[in-house]
Amino acid sequence: MSTHAYCDGIRRRDLLHLGAAGLSGFGLTLPGLLAAEQAQRDQHANARDGMSLIIVFLQGGLSTIDTWDMKPDAPPEFRGEFNPIETCVPGIQVCEHLPRLSRQFDKFALVRSFTNPNSDHGPADHYLLTGYRPGAGFNGGLKPNNQRPAHGAVIARKLGPRGSVPPYVCLPKMHNSAGSSYLGSAAAPFVVDADPNAPGFTVPDLMPPVTVRADRLDSRRSLMSRINRFQKSTELAANRGALAMDTFQQKAFDLMTSQATKAAFEIGAESDALRDEYGRHSLGQSCILARRLVEAGVRCVLIDHTNWDTHYSNFSVLKNDLLPHLDSAMSSLFRDLHDRGLLDKTMVLVTGEFGRTPRINKDAGRDHWGPSTAIAIGGGGIRGGNVVGASDGRAEKPATEPYGPEDLAATIYHVLGIDPRTLFYTAEGRPLPIVPGEGRVIQPLFS
């Protein structure tokens, strides 16, 4: 996995672990958390309880004009060096460096008239992963401080866990805009904080501390419970942050003692042949782990893969590094989910925060370009082999009805069985919709 800095000079690495992933500004009391958990259970009967979501987030910005919205008839300074090839769906083409993916096109769709009004990494990330444009006071994505909850946090809050596995997982690290915001610690992601492609891969937060024997965890949990009951009786109104940390402690105990959770993360249980098919790289092994997690009952997995910020040497970097990884990982994920009977109940989204400039720059690269991009999305009832919308002849802007992050959010919640008109309430009683008022389901994906 690439670790070099983005164009803004910031190394976008995981800043928080499980114990702090959702502490920023949520303001929920313990009764509120308990009431929310009961509400989650009550919602199950009405939700599409078997549905899950995998988001493959190509952080930095995928060059869609060089992948799945190519413009072979555009002038050379726009169309670039790559040639299109036919997919398994007649009349639809993708890049020649995605040969395996081209044979799986019947399992997913493209939205080619997608747009993100922001072309800066941090704000565009937040908009894409939450459905909301960041407002005044946004810190630029430099630290986890969502103004609005990420899709996975909304799903975790509304639907709750299935069994003992966490409802929302981030891997191989925590994205800055993947947090739970005002939804609090109960909706925060479980962060793997380790590369599944690393030799001897383990999940740090599933391992008991070296000073604590596993057989002592239950005793320690009982003692913590008695202490916390005393503390809460005297400090309930005084320290909401402590209550949130207790939620994380309870999660940690549950996870460390859950055999189902440990089994879900045991990537070594997969055959060498299948792991080779996905690709022995971070993206490939993250995708096979995501499949294991949704198979075990996890509702949302966010894969944060870097670095797609190709300001220079765009074509050589794509050809020799990024696209071979995307080709093996994405094609295997769709095929594997389909063959296991999981694709109908697993929505898969593959996207960056924006596209790249249609015109090639002086460094043989492409810069940030939010006005026109494309996303790949399949499973969960979406019609495969489908192309929704189109960009203009140089991929500079949508040529048909545009769709944006708020529409993507509405579509995600629709597939997961969550009403896009749902309101949450802050601790002060302020109603906040999970989708902005203008967001609507991308209906052509289903017809």
Average pLDDT, consecutive stretches of 10 residues, N- to C-terminus, the chain (447 residues): 52 35 39 49 54 98 98 97 98 98 98 96 96 85 80 97 94 95 93 95 70 49 50 47 52 64 93 98 98 97 97 98 98 98 98 98 98 98 97 98 98 97 90 95 96
Q: How many Å apart are CA 208 and CA 216, to the nearest integer?
A: 10
Q: How many Å apart are CA 443 and CA 278, to the nearest integer?
A: 31
User: What pLDDT is stored for residue 302 in this prediction?
Assistant: 98
360: nearest Cα among 322, 318, 311, 396: 311
Instruction: Tell me if 4 is assigned to some domain.
Output: no
Instruction: Tell me if 343 is assigned to some domain.
Output: yes
Q: How many Å apart are CA 390 and CA 392, to the nearest integer?
A: 7
Work out whether the CA dihedral 323, 326, 330, 331 comes out positive or negative: positive
Instruction: Tell me if 12 is assigned to some domain.
Output: no
Counting the structural domains of the chain, the total is: 1
| Pair 370, 122: CB distance under 8 Å | no
Instruction: Tell me if 2 is assigned to some domain.
Output: no
Instruction: Tell me if 11 is assigned to some domain.
Output: no
The CATH number of whichever domain residue 65 belongs to comes to 3.40.720.10
User: What pLDDT is stored for residue 127 in this prediction?
Assistant: 96
Task: Output the six-digit token pair for 255.
Answer: 């996870």
Pairing of strands 108-114, 373-378: antiparallel
Instruction: Tell me if 282 is assigned to some domain.
Output: yes
Instruction: Tell me if 406 is assigned to some domain.
Output: yes
Instruction: Tell me if 1 is assigned to some domain.
Output: no
Domain extent for 400: 18-446
With b for 16 or more beta-carbon neighbours within 10 A and e for fewer, the 59-88 pattern comes to bbbbbbbbbbbbbeebeeebbbebebeebe
Q: Is residue 349 left, alpha or beta, with left meaning phi > 0 and alpha meaning psi from -120 to 50?
A: beta
Question: In which residue are the tokens 């996303």 written?
Answer: 375
